[in-house]
Structure formats: structure tokens, C-alpha cells
Amino acid sequence: MMKQRNLTVPILAISIAIPLGVAALIMLPHTRINPGFNTSSLPLFHAILNSSTAILLLASLYFIKHQRIRAHRAANLTAVVLSVIFLISYVIYHSSNPSVRFGDINHDGLLSAGEKLQAGNMRYVYYVVLSSHIILSGVIIPFVLFTLQKAFQEKFIQHKKLARITWPLWLYVAVSGVAVYWMISPYY
């Protein structure tokens, strides 16, 4: 059994630092970095990571319902690793590329009246999905970390209670990440 350390402060610090860092990266003006490789395929890579995470979360649920604890643990830990890889890759991409706007057919970073008209109501659908994805991707961080902590501490009743909230939120974040990619991909 894992030593019963109170990890609340580090978990909360991480849970605040990551969304603030990502928000600053996207919203504040900064000099674009050159990571030394072509980053144009990273959005597709992010969609693949999100798809894989969603599949692992579905497998995790299947495994726990069938009392396959080791497989359940492996699926969840792999989903966490993929999420960390996603975060690192996402930061690299947004550090080296300007934001892409939904409907920006000519790739000038601006939406003309004609582009808005052509994008139509799908712009609103996109922004609803994107907004919920962004908000919940920040919200999910402490849930995942506290759920993992309870599992490693073998506090399985608390783990199960948290997992009932964490699992659907995390699955939504993974699936909506793929949906966001498919909706914005014509504008890359």
C-alpha cells in the first residue's frame, strides 16, 4: 500500500498551474518558438491521442465491471500517460503556431463577413463544443489526480465515488477533443 501522504496541495497546484499556463500560452502575445521540427501534423496527433484515451477509458470501465483490476489499472495509467503526452505536444504546437479560426478559409487569421456566412451555424456548434472541451479539460485535472491518488492509497470506496464523476468528464474531454479537431481541420 502506498504511504498515506496528503497530496492535496501538489494536486491543487498542478491543477491550477496547467490551465493558467495553457491560457497564457494561447491568450498572451509571445514570440513563436521553433521546436526544430515540422509541427503541422500535431493537431492530428492530438486527435489520435484523444481517441486512444477515449478507447482506454471505455476499456477501463469494461475491465472494472468484469473485476479485471490489473487491466483496469493499466488502461487508466496509460490514459494518463497519453494525456501528459497530449499536454506536452499541445504546448509545443501552440508555442510554435498561430491559432486557427473556424471558418478562416483564406488562412489570414481574420474572418470576413463572407467566411462567417459560409461557415454558417456550424461556427456556433464548434464554439459550444470547443468551449465545453476547454473548460472541462481544466476541470478534469484535479479529478483525475485525486481519483488516482485514492486508488494508489487503496481507498477504493472513495476512489469509486470520485471515478463516477471523473470517468464521464474525462471521456467527454477526450471525445470532444476529437470532435473539435474534425470540425477545425479543414481550416489548418
Hey, where are the domains in the chain?
41-187
User: What's the pLDDT at 104?
Assistant: 92
Q: Is the pTM of this model over 0.75?
A: yes
- Confidence band, pLDDT 50/70/90 cuts, at residue 2: very low
pLDDT (0 to 100) of residue 11: 95
Please tell me which of 5-9, 80-84, 119-123 the model is most confident about, judged by mean pLDDT. 80-84
> Which residue is listed with cell 485525486?
146
The reported pLDDT for the residue numbered 165 is: 98
- pLDDT at 68 (0 to 100): 98
Q: Does domain 41-187 have CATH number 1.20.120?
A: yes
pLDDT reported for residue 3: 54
